[in-house]
Structure 1
Amino acid sequence: MSEATDAVAADRALKARHRAMWAMGDYPSVASHVIPEAGAQLVKECGVQRGDSVLDIAAGAGNAAIPAALAGADVVACDLTPELLEIGRQVAAVRGVGLDWQEADAEHLPFADGEFDIVMSCFGIMFAPHHQAAADEMVRVCRPGGTIGMSNWTPQGFIGRMFAAMKPYAPPPPPGASPPPLWGDEEHVYELLGDRVTDVEARRRTVRVDAFPQPGSFRTFFKTCYGPTIAVYRSLGEDSDRAAALDRELDELAEEHTRDGVMEWEFLLLTAHRTA
């Protein structure tokens, strides 16, 4: 095979692993029970209005896409993992709102240049392994003058530190892949978007999490529901000592961030307009 063919095959294999990882557990429960207001907050910050054409990248089960549709926008929710999209369809049907659900890779979006008024992502695009490719696609499909908005966990916040704690226990990342929490660093995102955007507003916010008041409850929930955490534990196989060590690290991290049964998880909320 040629070098180009090898690269395509490697990318397909990588995306298949990502797809399988996010199909593990129950991510919709994370979105709906742990951070239920995050999607609606991003929709508000993006100024979504009736009649806007909106793309939600790495939409999962629609925690931002569904609020955008409820605001009257014409919404496309795309994600790499069809299992999450199917759950989103069911939730949208219960809530009585229609939107278009499409399986798509954030790094290779199947949409036309400038197709959408608003392009957003709520804790989603940050998990695309090749940050520049995903950022390029996000800008490309937004119309000139349109809005780009995203919420991403910061490296210094709780989720960023959780990924740092799991890293020594996980298999090495594939060549060219970047850590997801880098999307929560303002300078990194500025470099990704470059001079293709203007009116950039980056604000560090926190989400209040009161779902884990008991010691060990965060770790137990994420080991059951959160794909990246499940994947790291599975990679340890029968190594019970390393699994126990990771248990301790996650419990200590959660305890450090819990006050009176409440955690504060920091994220970066960024909005911008595509240059004309």
Structure 2
Amino acid sequence: MNANKALWEKGDFTRLAETMRESGEALVAKLGITDGMDVLDLGCGDGTTAIPAARLGANVQGVDIARNLVEAGNARVKAEGLTNITFSEGDAIDLQGIADETFDLVVSIFGAMFAPKPFDVAKEMFRVVRRGGKIVMGNWIPGDPTLVAQILKVSSAYTPPPPEGFISPMLWGVEKDVTERFISAGALKENISFTRETFTFQAPFAPAIFLETFRNYYGPTMNAFEAAEKNGNAADLQHELEVLFESQNQSTDKNTTSIPATFLKVTVLR
């Protein structure tokens, strides 16, 4: 089975996505989406950014490698009565069935960065966006002191080394690597720009419970705990992450969570 597909079908990312809705809507509101625009959301999950784009009047196609997330997204769409959005299974390294220059906007927020073969990902994103359109990615930044980068950093210390040839998804948070990939896909260097922005996780429960959401439902963290348990280090991993979550929480109410995380926003003009 496709290892990337297995990773994201593990657990239930929708439980984590529920804490991302507010920031997802805020991000989409700044993308300049207009009524009738054709939008692809790649690595869409259950629609954290795809559904807000459809609410703004765009014709949205959400693509994700995980079947359970596609099903959850379609259920959300049905519940809202939206008719201008569909979710389907697909792989960011090979967007089969999608013709060249189909979309005005291609969006991938913490999605396509986790696909293997990053040069193929950039090539596919650039291929399916129309001339005059744009690509927008949100990618976590390696070594960043905020939440997600630190979760992945801490977790990596408890997991076996990656297989030979593995390319870290965190390199999508390095400007020179992103530039190289999109130039290889056909973009002009002057049409690639970067900003650092903030995505805030909001939850109506304490940071310790938020950590349990990661431990029980987020594939990479689930794998880290499974590896740590085999080595008898699960309690150490739990402690490190508890300290991290508590220290990052900015809510004044100890029973709620508000944790900002910095990401690299990539914009590529076609």
TM (normalized to structure 1)? 0.85
Report the alpha carbon displacement of residue 108 of structure 1 after superposing the two structures with TM: 0.7
- 8 Å contact from structure 1 (residues 42, 151) kept in 2: no
2:265 maps to which of 261, 265, 269: 269
- Equivalent residue for 2:242? 251
For residues 129-184 of structure 1, give each alpha carbon's deviation from its aligned partner in whole angstroms, at most 9, with x where no partner exists: 22222111111111122110111122213211211111122233233332222222
2:178 and 2:210 map into 1 onto residues whose CA distance is: 29
2:228 and 2:239 map into 1 onto residues whose CA distance is: 15
2:196 maps to which of 180, 197, 204: 204
1:162 maps to which of 109, 134, 151: 151
Aligned residues: 258
Unpaired stretches in structure 1, ≥5 consecutive residues = 1-12
- 8 Å contact from structure 2 (residues 207, 249) kept in 1: no
For residues 60-105 of structure 1, give each alpha carbon's deviation from its aligned partner in whole angstroms, at most 9, with x where no partner exists: 1111111111111111111111110000000011111122222111
Residue identity matched to 1:88: G
- Equivalent residue for 2:173? 184
TM (normalized to structure 2)? 0.87
- Equivalent residue for 2:162? 173
> What SS does the corresponding residue of 2:54 show, helix, strand or coil?
helix
Over 3 Å counting, the alpha-carbon distance change for 1:177 and 1:48 in structure 2 is farther
Report the alpha carbon displacement of residue 213 of structure 1 after superposing the two structures with TM: 6.4
> What SS does the corresponding residue of 1:118 show, helix, strand or coil?
strand
Unpaired stretches in structure 2, ≥5 consecutive residues = none
> What SS does the corresponding residue of 2:196 show, helix, strand or coil?
strand
Q: CA RMSD in A?
A: 2.1
> What SS does the corresponding residue of 1:203 show, helix, strand or coil?
strand
1:220 and 1:42 map into 2 onto residues whose CA distance is: 26
Say whether residues 1:112 and 2:99 are aligned partners: yes
Residue identity matched to 1:17: A
- Over the matched positions of the two proteins, sequence identity in percent amounts to 36
For residues 172-211 of structure 1, give each alpha carbon's deviation from its aligned partner in whole angstroms, at most 9, with x where no partner exists: 3233332222222223222221260444332211223343
2:207 and 2:125 map into 1 onto residues whose CA distance is: 39
2:65 maps to which of 80, 88, 100: 80
Residue identity matched to 2:5: R
- Equivalent residue for 1:7? none
Residue identity matched to 2:192: V
1:65 and 1:119 map into 2 onto residues whose CA distance is: 11
For residues 7-26 of structure 1, give each alpha carbon's deviation from its aligned partner in whole angstroms, at most 9, with x where no partner exists: xxxxxx4xx22222212222
Residue identity matched to 1:130: K
- 8 Å contact from structure 1 (residues 236, 243) kept in 2: yes
> What SS does the corresponding residue of 1:196 show, helix, strand or coil?
coil
> What SS does the corresponding residue of 1:169 show, helix, strand or coil?
coil
- 8 Å contact from structure 2 (residues 228, 237) kept in 1: no
Report the alpha carbon displacement of residue 120 of structure 1 after superposing the two structures with TM: 0.8
- Equivalent residue for 1:148? 135
- Equivalent residue for 1:58? 43
